[in-house]
């Protein structure tokens, strides 16, 4: 590889920009970076309606999503076999759920997978999601504090939302769902004219200042309910103001470049018509975002509870199954249904395994990217409408304090928030408590 | 509740509190006492699951159980309603994606995909996308508003000299085989014509494509459809963007002109590898959806080559010449530029004074009311503060105009000074009318009437409603309202199983939705009774749909009124769009159809299935061999299911003669493992009121004779929700009743309904 003009050492960086700031960790700088300086990352993926769970010991036993045995002494059933190759880097967690979720409707818990909130009352207000707690704490070290993706995009509606992430006020963060657009945000060629970009960023900054200033008198003239709405607008203005400031800091640092091979793998034209390709492309984007240290926090809602109107509803159909997601899930304990759903579970696990393998194939420090990336994948239903015993795959991060290779059965009085506390701690975030947590999940610790 | 007393309190009362639940003192203030509501909810769940009373307890009769669950459910729903109340007032509402797109286009005059990057909109509880409370603002949204504004303004406002104009003429394609398509001048559905421009093509601006061509008609087929697209950018989702298409209604050689904007097409990246440049593609889009022939050796101009045999039963197009010119502009800078930055000597003499003029005009249109002097001067101040940073007046002007386009006065329908309920002023009414019927900003005529304060006059209002409906822009109301009211969008999430429906073409889905929209529009524009939505003696069809329904003699892609001889087809319920919505893509789904009918048409949605209902025992392998109707019967043998499903199932079962794609059938195919069996359709069942429904005609008769009030109420409620941009509340009951009465009196004329809604005090106050 030829030495690019930006192939500089850290010192030159600082001199060149004359700004003191947190620097991105870049593999391309080629330095032997101290392990303690290497990034810590986390991502979470979600799917609705649960998994196949036919009777234990029955004819269909092998289609049970959960493994057999317990602790380190366990065997995978059919649908989780894709994890066998990564056995020592994966933990399957059973028995866990959000206590608040158990008091909500069977189709209402998708929104709270990463928040543990109780959705009730006037506006079904949510609370901050675990990824955003991490993003708020460490996000300033990277170009993007986090990325939020889903198949449907946007925010959806309460209890049927199309995003996993909620900001510190509990407001949903819209998810991106077009691979090309996500790519362009992270790696796309910006305006060639750097000067013009600087000018516009500065003018954005003054614009936003002035909007905020003008808004004070306007806000006073609004009725109470309008004021609540208007505050949403003002909060958005403040947030982009911060983003503009952040962009200004990053403007002189070139966007990370990708290898030809990485570009070739990417199928940015993928859409919901070809689920496998689409899901893999979304995973590829997270992989690249992590690899280039564009962000350290990501969420991806693969499918949502809004069945009839969700683009992911017909995913199984488009992969040759006989039903859509929701109907398929209803078959979890039926003779033919459990097999079909089990095969779908396997499909989903294969995509996840693809992602884990990809993370694991990239060397970083003494280990791999996966070793410094926590991956959580699961559903807020074990079987349709059932809000307990979430099927959870928890992988990666053995370089940042975790230990795997087990089927961990957790008592149902241990809230899932305990896992979040552990994850935040591994991220280096000082957060001894999250939502309804009662402690730390020591069983996954190294 | 005596039932509670006799059946529950003995274990959950004063003396004993099983599971620490005590009901006799439990608050029934569902609105204020949340902890109690939670307990009631748990009690409801226990009843639904048949867990309570326990086996050793005093059992409930079916009637008692229903009474109890209905009471709890009803109280909870009512409390939720009250809590969500906005006091019957519209919450300040942001333009939704469609409205934003239309408004930007109408304001700037440039056709471009402004909403491209905006996140999709959430639905309101009623299924609408224009509800102020549901429409959120987020930073990513605002970021893309700013980007879109700059993107649009960059294309309009020009500095520097006029660009070079490129002209190309092609009488033959200048590329070789592409995309498995046969390159040709004589076009059937498998051929195409490509003209490529390697280096010398524009990156920006308007272009014209002229196609000189003649047609060859075919017996029993519609007209050939001449389509022009421009592109292409490899490796992206959309290689091409269609400029437009036209039906060729005569065989004579003619010149067809197509216009577009270069930037709106996926453009090749110059110098990037093997990709040639800008390409114009010409195709014949006529298709009867019969199986396509395979590629084979064919003879062309005396030579043998790979190709597709001509299908002489299909209409063809003979392309004689294709011409591309671009960019085209009247003068430099172009008209759109001059419409914003008008020509004036002031621009050189006093930039601030000039910008004040520019901004005063621009802001008054963007804010949909005259901008105040203070507002204008603030923006001029902004302009001045950034001016020194930018090389030209134009560059700084773009920034200033972009700022206007992210201000709340533009992005929201602002109706300030409303801490108390107040009447709207004429400008605010003009905006509400315009977003109701056109989904965009008011035009000059509405603004002029508002300026003269004449819009409130009943005669003017009536006349404006008529004018607005007759305008093409009212299609936006028709499209959005029918799509959202009837949930037509969901049709795209139904994956049709082509093993069962062989040869089904996805493209037909779009036309199915179009049928429903055209049907609604026909009733609206011809001022026919809205009861035709329940049943009608005509349908709105084009060639493809007519073929799908087996109706003869309809040729061409335009939708038109076709008299029906088949009584089953009339009205919404006979339309393929609606029937497909109520399907799994494999078979009909009677429950989905029933719920849709009760919710959307009768405004009486059944309660959602209770959480954690035990599944039916479907382990019996014979269960899967039953028809859906028979399965539902098994379902209803369970009392906790039966209480609701008795009132649901019959509505859907009556439509069982129609399959997932809306075709009529006498026999139902049952698939189980690899066996396929056939059973006769049984479409009869008895409603809770004792009436028997037997098939589609009897369902429609029943709706027309017994349910017109419910239907009218449903349509009135939904249209009012759409017009106001908020949910209806208990306090709106009188409004809906009054409107429904007037609506019925008019003979269910939707034009009357629209005028009445606009004249209502709810519409005209904040």
A313-362: pLDDT as tens digits: 989 988 988 888 888 888 888 888 899 999 999 999 999 999 999 999 99
B582/B655 same-domain check: yes
Beta bridge partners of B254: B213
Instruction: Give me the pLDDT at residue A77, please.
Output: 96
The secondary structure element, H or E, covering residue B75 is helix B62-84
- The shortest CB-CB distance from B137 to any of A233, A310, A314 is to A233
B301/B339 same-domain check: no
Say if B430 falls within a structural domain: no
Instruction: Give me the pLDDT at residue B83, please.
Output: 65
Chain A CB contacts of B725 below 8 Å = none
Instruction: Give me the pLDDT at residue B276, please.
Output: 67
Instruction: Give me the pLDDT at residue B616, please.
Output: 55
Instruction: Give me the pLDDT at residue B621, please.
Output: 58
Q: What are phi and psi of A338, to 5 degrees?
A: -65, -35
Q: What are phi and psi of A377, to 5 degrees?
A: -140, 125
> Is pLDDT of A30 > 50?
no
B346/B210 same-domain check: no
How far apart (Å, rounded) are the C-alpha atoms in residues A380 and A129?
14
Chain B CB contacts of A327 below 8 Å = 584
How far apart (Å, rounded) are the C-alpha atoms in residues B716 and B742?
10
- Sketch the domain layout of chain A as residue ranges: 42-185+261-444, 190-254
Which pair of tokens denotes residue B456?
């409130």
List the single range of A192-196, B238-242, B743-747 with lowest mean pLDDT: A192-196
Instruction: Give me the pLDDT at residue B674, please.
Output: 67
Which DSSP symbol is given to B597? Answer: I
pLDDT average, residue stretch A173-200:
83
**What is the band of B133 on the pLDDT scale with cuts at 50, 70, 90?**
confident
**What is the band of A9 on the pLDDT scale with cuts at 50, 70, 90?**
very low
Q: What is the CA radius of gyration of chain A?
A: 22
Residue A386's SS3 state is: coil
Instruction: Give me the pLDDT at residue B121, please.
Output: 84
B628 vs B194, residue with greater confidence: B194
Residue A74's SS3 state is: strand
Pick the closest to residue B232 from B190, B191, B274, B286 (CA basis).
B274
Of A326-335, B288-297, B459-468, the range with the highest mean pLDDT is B459-468
- The shortest CB-CB distance from A317 to any of B146, B382, B495 is to B495
Beta bridge partners of A70: A73
- Cis geometry, peptide bond prior to residue B333 (ω within 30 degrees of 0): yes
**What is the band of A23 on the pLDDT scale with cuts at 50, 70, 90?**
very low
Residue B271's SS3 state is: coil
Query: Which chain B residue lies closest to A107 (C-alpha atoms)?
Result: B611
Instruction: Give me the pLDDT at residue B166, please.
Output: 96
- Determine contact, residues B235/A268, Cβ cutoff 8 Å: yes
Q: What angle do CA B634, B640, B643 make, to 5 degrees?
A: 85
Chain B closest CA to A155's CA: distance in Å?
6
> Is pLDDT of B540 > 90?
yes
Indicate the residue among B45, B63, B84 that finishes a domain: B84
Instruction: Give me the pLDDT at residue A105, please.
Output: 79
B532/B633 same-domain check: yes
Contact A225 B89 (CB under 8 A): yes
Chain B closest CA to A138's CA: distance in Å?
19
Say if B521 falls within a structural domain: yes
B323 vs A260, residue with greater confidence: B323
Instruction: Give me the pLDDT at residue A32, please.
Output: 45
Instruction: Give me the pLDDT at residue A10, please.
Output: 33
| pLDDT, averaged across chain A | 87
- The shortest CB-CB distance from B386 to any of A106, A203, A314 is to A203
Contact A385 B389 (CB under 8 A): no
Contact A330 B673 (CB under 8 A): no
**What is the band of B216 on the pLDDT scale with cuts at 50, 70, 90?**
very high
> Is pLDDT of B173 > 90?
yes
List the single range of B220-234, B385-399, B618-632 with lowest mean pLDDT: B618-632
- The shortest CB-CB distance from B237 to any of A153, A269, A323 is to A269
Sign of the alpha-carbon torsion through B469, B474, B478, B480: negative
Top residue of A226, A272, A277 to mutate, by most chain B CBs within 10 Å, is A226
Instruction: Give me the pLDDT at residue A445, please.
Output: 93
> Is pLDDT of B415 > 80?
yes
Chain B CB contacts of A204 below 8 Å = 146
Contact B237 A232 (CB under 8 A): no
User: Residue B4, exposed/middle/buried by CB under 10 A (0-12, 13-18, 19+)?
Assistant: middle
Contact B139 A180 (CB under 8 A): no
| pLDDT, averaged across chain B | 90
List the single range of A245-249, B77-81, B658-662 with lowest mean pLDDT: B77-81
How far apart (Å, rounded) are the C-alpha atoms in residues A396 and B634?
48
List the single range of B80-84, B452-456, B471-475 with lowest mean pLDDT: B80-84
- Determine contact, residues B119/A153, Cβ cutoff 8 Å: yes
Contact A336 B611 (CB under 8 A): no
- Determine contact, residues B471/B446, Cβ cutoff 8 Å: no
The residue to which tokens 């062309």 are assigned: B300
Say if B761 falls within a structural domain: no
Query: Which chain A residue lies closest to B142 (C-alpha atoms)?
Result: A236
> Is pLDDT of B498 > 90?
no
Chain A closest CA to B665's CA: distance in Å?
22
Top residue of A53, A118, A159, A174 to mutate, by most chain B CBs within 10 Å, is A174
| Whole-complex ipTM | 0.84
Chain A CB contacts of B411 below 8 Å = 233
pLDDT average, residue stretch B110-133:
87
How far apart (Å, rounded) are the C-alpha atoms in residues B4 and B22?
11
Query: Which chain B residue lies closest to A173 (C-alpha atoms)?
Result: B138
Give the percent of chain B with pLDDT over 90: 63
Q: What is the pLDDT of residues A37-57, one digit of tens each?
A: 899 999 999 999 999 999 999
Chain B CB contacts of A120 below 8 Å = 34
Q: Where are the alpha helices (DSSP H) in A63-146?
A: 130-138
Query: Which chain B residue lies closest to A239 (C-alpha atoms)?
Result: B139
B647/B521 same-domain check: yes
Q: Where are the alpha helices (DSSP H) in B118-175?
A: 139-156
- The shortest CB-CB distance from A311 to any of B125, B415, B493 is to B493
> Is pLDDT of B620 > 70?
no
B121/B251 same-domain check: no
Say if B757 falls within a structural domain: no
**What is the band of A36 on the pLDDT scale with cuts at 50, 70, 90?**
low
**What is the band of A124 on the pLDDT scale with cuts at 50, 70, 90?**
confident
B541/B611 same-domain check: yes
Sign of the alpha-carbon torsion through B564, B565, B566, B571: positive
Instruction: Give me the pLDDT at residue B564, please.
Output: 93
Top residue of A106, A200, A202, A205 to mutate, by most chain B CBs within 10 Å, is A200
B361 vs B120, residue with greater confidence: B361
Say if B422 falls within a structural domain: no
Instruction: Give me the pLDDT at residue B624, please.
Output: 64
Instruction: Give me the pLDDT at residue B643, please.
Output: 76
Chain A CB contacts of B611 below 8 Å = 105-107, 385
Residue B102's SS3 state is: helix
**What is the band of A261 on the pLDDT scale with cuts at 50, 70, 90?**
confident
Neighbours of A422 (CB within 10 A): 24
Check if CATH label 3.40.1350 holds for domain A42-185+261-444.
no
Q: Give Cα separations from B63 to B67, B68, B642, B643 (angstroms).
A: 6, 9, 11, 9
- The shortest CB-CB distance from B121 to any of A154, A200, A327 is to A154
**What is the band of B115 on the pLDDT scale with cuts at 50, 70, 90?**
very high
Which domain, by its residues, includes B180?
166-328
B488/B533 same-domain check: yes
Contact B123 A199 (CB under 8 A): no
The count of structural domains within chain B is: 4
Q: What is the pLDDT of residues A373-410, one digit of tens each?
A: 999 999 999 987 788 999 999 999 999 999 999 999 99
Question: What residues have CB less than 8 Å from B675, skipping those under 6 apart?
Answer: none
Chain B CB contacts of A50 below 8 Å = none
Say if B749 falls within a structural domain: no
Q: What is the pLDDT of residues B63-114, one digit of tens each?
A: 888 888 888 888 877 776 666 666 678 889 999 999 999 999 999 999 999 9
Indicate the residue among B84, B102, B125 that finishes a domain: B84
Say if B736 falls within a structural domain: no
Chain A CB contacts of B490 below 8 Å = 308-309
Chain B closest CA to A308's CA: distance in Å?
6
> Is pLDDT of B612 > 90?
no
Chain A CB contacts of B236 below 8 Å = 180, 268-269
Query: Which chain B residue lies closest to A196 (C-alpha atoms)?
Result: B390
Indicate the residue among B84, B115, B145 that finishes a domain: B84
- The shortest CB-CB distance from A309 to any of B93, B493, B495 is to B493
Chain B CB contacts of A200 below 8 Å = 150, 399
pLDDT average, residue stretch A27-36:
48
Residue B403 region, left (φ>0) first, then alpha (ψ -120 to 50), else beta? alpha
> Is pLDDT of B21 > 70?
yes
Question: What residues have CB less than 8 Å from B55, skipping those under 6 apart?
Answer: none
Top residue of A155, A167, A247 to mutate, by most chain B CBs within 10 Å, is A155
Contact B237 A153 (CB under 8 A): no
Say if B378 falls within a structural domain: yes
Query: Which chain B residue lies closest to A100 (C-alpha atoms)?
Result: B38
Residue A99's SS3 state is: coil
B544/B602 same-domain check: yes
pLDDT average, residue stretch A168-182:
89
Give the percent of chain B with pLDDT over 70: 94
B119/B97 same-domain check: yes
B571/B700 same-domain check: yes
How far apart (Å, rounded) are the C-alpha atoms in residues A406 and A420?
18
Q: How many CB pairs under 8 A join A and B?
A: 189
Chain A closest CA to B483's CA: distance in Å?
13
Contact A268 B403 (CB under 8 A): no
B186/B270 same-domain check: yes
Pick the closest to residue B280 from B226, B317, B235, B216 (CA basis).
B226
Dihedral in degrees, nearest 10, Cα atoms B3, B9, B12, B13: 140
> Is pLDDT of B383 > 70?
yes
**DSSP string computed for B651-684:** HHHTTTTB-TTS-B-SEEEEEETTEEEEEE---E
Which pair of tokens denotes residue B211?
């196609």
Chain A CB contacts of B615 below 8 Å = 330, 333-334
């Amino acid at each position: 590889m030829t030495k690019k003009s930006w192939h500089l050492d850290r010192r030159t960086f600082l001199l060149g920009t004359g700004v003191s700031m947190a620097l991105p960790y870049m593999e391309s700088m080629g330095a032997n970076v101290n392990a303690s300086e290497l990034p810590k990352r986390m991502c979470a993926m979600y799917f609705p309606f649960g998994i196949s769970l036919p009777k234990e010991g029955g004819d269909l036993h092998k289609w049970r999503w959960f493994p057999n045995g317990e602790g380190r002494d366990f065997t995978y059933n059919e649908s989780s076999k894709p994890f066998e190759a990564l056995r020592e880097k994966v933990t399957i967690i059973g028995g866990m759920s959000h206590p608040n979720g158990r008091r909500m409707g069977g189709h209402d818990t998708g929104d709270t997978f990463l928040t543990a909130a109780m959705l009730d009352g006037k506006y079904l207000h949510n609370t901050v999601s675990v990824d955003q707690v991490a993003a708020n704490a460490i996000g300033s070290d990277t170009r993007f504090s986090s990325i939020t993706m889903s198949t449907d995009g946007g925010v959806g509606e309460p209890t049927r939302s199309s995003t996993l992430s909620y900001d510190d006020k509990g407001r949903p963060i819209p998810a991106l769902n077009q691979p090309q657009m996500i790519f362009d945000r992270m790696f796309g060629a910006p305006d060639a004219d750097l000067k013009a970009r600087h000018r516009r960023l500065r003018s954005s900054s003054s614009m936003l200042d002035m909007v905020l200033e003008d808004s004070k008198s306007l806000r006073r003239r609004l009725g109470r309910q309008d004021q609540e709405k208007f505050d949403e607008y003002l909060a958005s203005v403040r947030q982009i103001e911060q983003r503009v400031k952040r962009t200004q800091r990053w403007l002189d640092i070139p966007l990370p470049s990708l290898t030809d091979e990485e570009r070739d793998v990417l199928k940015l034209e993928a859409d919901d018509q070809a689920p496998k390709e689409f899901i893999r492309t979304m995973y590829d984007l997270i992989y690249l975002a992590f690899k280039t240290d564009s962000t350290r926090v990501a969420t991806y809602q693969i499918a949502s509870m809004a069945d009839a109107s969700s683009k992911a509803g017909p995913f199984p159909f488009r992969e040759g199954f006989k039903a859509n997601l929701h109907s398929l899930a209803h078959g979890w304990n039926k003779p033919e249904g459990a097999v079909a759903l089990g095969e779908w579970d396997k499909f989903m696990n294969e995509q996840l395994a693809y992602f884990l393998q990809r993370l694991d194939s990239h060397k970083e420090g003494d280990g791999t990217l996966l070793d410094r990336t926590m991956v959580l994948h699961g559903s807020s239903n074990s079987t349709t409408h059932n809000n307990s015993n979430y099927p959870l795959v928890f992988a990666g991060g053995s370089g940042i304090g975790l230990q795997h290779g087990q089927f961990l059965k957790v008592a149902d009085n241990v809230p899932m928030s305990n896992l979040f506390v552990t994850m935040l701690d591994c991220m280096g975030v000082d957060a001894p408590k999250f939502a309804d947590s009662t402690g730390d999940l020591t069983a996954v610790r190294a | 509740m005596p039932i509670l007393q006799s059946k529950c309190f003995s274990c959950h009362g004063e003396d004993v509190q099983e599971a620490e639940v005590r009901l006799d003192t439990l608050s029934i203030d569902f609105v204020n006492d949340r902890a109690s509501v939670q307990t009631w909810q748990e009690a409801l769940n226990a009843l639904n699951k048949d867990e309570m009373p326990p086996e050793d307890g005093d059992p409930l009769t079916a009637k008692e159980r229903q009474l109890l669950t209905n009471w709890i459910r009803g109280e909870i729903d009512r409390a939720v309603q009250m809590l969500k109340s906005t006091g019957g007032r519209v919450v300040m509402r942001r333009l939704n994606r469609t409205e934003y797109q239309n408004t930007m286009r109408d304001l700037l005059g440039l056709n471009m995909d402004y909403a491209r990057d905006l996140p999709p909109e959430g639905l309101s509880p009623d299924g609408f996308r224009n509800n102020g409370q549901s429409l959120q603002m987020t930073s990513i949204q605002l970021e893309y508003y700013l980007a879109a504004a700059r993107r649009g303004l960059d294309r309009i406002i020009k500095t520097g000299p006029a660009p070079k104009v490129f002209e190309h003429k092609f009488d033959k394609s200048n590329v070789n085989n592409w995309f498995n398509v046969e390159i040709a001048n004589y076009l059937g559905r498998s051929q195409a014509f490509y003209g490529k421009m390697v280096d010398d093509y524009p990156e920006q601006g308007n272009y014209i494509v002229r196609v000189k061509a003649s047609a060859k008609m075919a017996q029993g087929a519609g007209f050939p459809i001449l389509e022009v697209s421009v592109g292409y950018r490899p490796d992206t989702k959309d290689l091409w963007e269609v400029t437009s298409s036209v039906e060729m209604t005569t065989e004579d050689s003619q010149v067809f002109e197509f216009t577009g904007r270069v930037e709106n097409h996926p453009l090749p990246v110059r110098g990037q590898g093997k990709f040639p440049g800008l390409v114009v593609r010409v195709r014949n889009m006529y298709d009867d959806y019969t199986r396509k022939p395979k590629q084979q050796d064919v003879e062309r101009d005396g030579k043998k080559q790979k190709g597709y045999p001509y299908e002489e039963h299909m209409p063809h197009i003979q392309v004689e010449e294709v011409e591309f010119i671009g960019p085209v502009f009247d003068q430099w800078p172009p008209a759109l530029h001059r419409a914003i930055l008008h020509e004036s000597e002031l621009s050189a003499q006093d930039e601030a004074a000039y910008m004040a003029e520019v901004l005063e005009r621009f802001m008054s249109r963007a804010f949909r009311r005259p901008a105040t002097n203070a507002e204008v001067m603030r923006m001029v101040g902004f302009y001045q503060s950034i001016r020194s940073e930018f090389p030209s007046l134009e560059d700084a002007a773009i920034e200033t105009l972009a700022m206007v386009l992210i201000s709340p006065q533009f992005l929201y329908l602002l109706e300030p000074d409303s801490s108390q309920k107040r009447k709207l002023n004429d400008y605010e009414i003009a905006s509400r009318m315009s977003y109701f019927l056109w989904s965009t900003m008011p035009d000059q005529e509405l603004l002029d009437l508002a300026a003269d304060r004449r819009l409130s006059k009943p005669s003017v209002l009536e006349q404006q409603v008529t004018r607005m409906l007759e305008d093409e822009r009212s299609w936006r109301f028709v499209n959005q309202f029918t799509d959202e009211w009837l949930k037509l969008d969901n049709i795209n999430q139904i994956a049709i199983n082509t093993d069962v429906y062989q040869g089904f073409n996805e493209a037909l889905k779009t036309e199915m939705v179009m049928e429903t929209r055209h049907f609604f529009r026909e009733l609206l524009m011809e001022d026919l009774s809205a009861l035709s939505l329940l049943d009608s003696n005509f349908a709105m069809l084009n060639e493809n749909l007519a073929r799908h329904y087996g109706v003869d003699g309809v040729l061409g892609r335009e939708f038109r009124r076709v008299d029906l001889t088949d009584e089953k087809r009339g009205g919404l319920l006979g339309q393929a769009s609606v029937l497909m919505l109520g399907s799994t893509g494999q078979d009909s789904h009677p429950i989905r159809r029933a719920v849709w009918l009760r919710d959307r048409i009768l405004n009486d949605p059944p309660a959602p299935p209770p959480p954690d209902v035990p599944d039916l025992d479907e382990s019996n392998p014979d269960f899967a061999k039953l028809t859906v109707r028979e399965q539902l019967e098994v379902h209803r043998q369970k009392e906790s299911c039966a209480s609701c499903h008795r009132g649901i199932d019959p509505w859907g079962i009556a439509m069982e003669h129609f399959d997932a794609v809306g075709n009529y059938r006498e026999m139902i195919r049952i698939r189980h493992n690899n066996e396929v069996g056939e059973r006769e359709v049984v479409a009869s069942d008895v409603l809770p009121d004792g009436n028997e429904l037997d098939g589609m005609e009897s369902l429609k008769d029943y709706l027309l004779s017994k349910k017109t009030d419910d239907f009218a109420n449903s349509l009135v409620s939904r249209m009012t929700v759409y017009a106001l941009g908020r949910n209806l509340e208990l306090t709106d009951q009188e409004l809906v009743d009054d409107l429904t009465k007037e609506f019925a009196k008019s003979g269910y004329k939707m034009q009357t309904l629209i005028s009445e809604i606009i004249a209502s005090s709810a519409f005209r106050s904040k």
